[in-house]
Amino acid sequence: MTTKVAVIGSGNIGTDLMIKVLRLSGTLEIAAMAGIDPASDGLARARRLKVATTHEGVDGLVGLDEFADVSIVFDATSAGAHRRHDEVLRALGRTVVDLTPAAVGPYVVPPVNGDAHLDAGNVNMVTCGGQATIPVVAAVASVTPVHYGEIVASISSRSAGPGTRANIDEFTETTSSAIERVGGATRGKAIIVLNPAEPPLIMRDTVHCLVGDCDDAAVTASVEEMVARVQAYVPGYRLKQKVQFDRVAGDDPLRSLLPPGSRQGSAAKVSVFLEVEGAAHYLPAYAGNLDIMTSAALRTAERMAAHRAAEVASR
């Protein structure tokens, strides 16, 4: 038995997500797509694929006959719009998977805490940079405390649509918070770079973790195992080179980021360099930043649906 879902947002992310549900999921069934631009390519594609549509946003969605059977709604709009969407949908008993940086619900990064919030009414997928880098921070933190975690997400400017550009501040704030709350770093910082290069470059991510004394081999093994877990649902996710370790000298300014009681001991900077190539279901392959978001959202909704089906079966 499949779980019916709907998508709000007929832009790049929402359309790619719709196509992923249709092509990849054996447990989710796309019932409807809502947008606000009647001329959008997303709504046109949905109609051609026999998916119910509306260009009247969330209000139009809840008015569709097909909405009656929908259990989970993906929101691929904007942080500002999401807050109202959440109010409307949760009042109607629907679960919301939020692909905006609104962070109304708890953060979910599938290979790190994918089973922690299966009963939540709203879950937040952090950001593209968060989905790509927080698994690595968590992998390092599972071996040794991470006192400071900094990530730099570099994406093609072509893959940064209006929603991404309008939410840059929310991106940095939400990602920084999730580096701490999900990744396990004491302090987190996030930076996004929109790269105008032509031809467009695929997503590149750099992760720096400041730690105390550490076992290099154990950290490397943990990172490589985590990369393999992400690759299970994002095949284009990969390490660009070996994990790097730089010992932090006594006069290095980085030591100011260590806890006061640790500044005299050993310290190291762990650097991990990643590349994310998209699956090109709807978006071009260089848009790995969008692909990892839709892939993570799909994985999360499938887990939630399976969990709820198991609960019903056990009654």
Query: Do the annotations mark residue 164 as ligand-binding?
Result: yes
Query: Do the annotations mark residue 113 as ligand-binding?
Result: no
Q: Nearest-5° angle of CA 251, CA 253, CA 258?
A: 100
Query: Do the annotations mark residue 116 as ligand-binding?
Result: no
Amino acid occupying residue 182: V
Q: How far apart are CA 103 and CA 96, in angstroms?
A: 12
Query: Do the annotations mark residue 165 as ligand-binding?
Result: yes
Query: Do the annotations mark residue 289 as ligand-binding?
Result: yes
Residues marked active site are found at 128
Query: Do the annotations mark residue 195 as ligand-binding?
Result: no
Query: Do the annotations mark residue 161 as ligand-binding?
Result: yes
198-232 in b/e form (b: 16+ CB < 10 A) is eebbbbbbbbbbbbbebeeeebbebbeebbebbee
Query: How many CB atoms are located within 10 Å of the residue 158 CB?
Result: 17
Query: Do the annotations mark residue 167 as ligand-binding?
Result: yes
Query: Do the annotations mark residue 160 as ligand-binding?
Result: yes
Amino acid occupying residue 218: A
- The distance from CA 260 to its chain's CA centroid, rounded to whole angstroms, is 33
Q: How far apart are CA 75 and CA 58, in angstroms?
A: 10
Query: Do the annotations mark residue 179 as ligand-binding?
Result: no
CA distances from 204 to 151, 154, 191, 282, 314 (A): 11, 5, 12, 20, 44
Closest by alpha carbon to 112, among 175, 176, 179? Answer: 179
Q: How far apart are CA 78 and CA 6, in angstroms?
A: 16
Query: Do the annotations mark residue 163 as ligand-binding?
Result: yes
Query: Do the annotations mark residue 52 as ligand-binding?
Result: no
Q: Which residues are annotated as a binding site for NAD(+)?
A: 10-13, 159-167, 289
Q: Which residues are annotated as a binding site?
A: 10-13, 159-167, 289
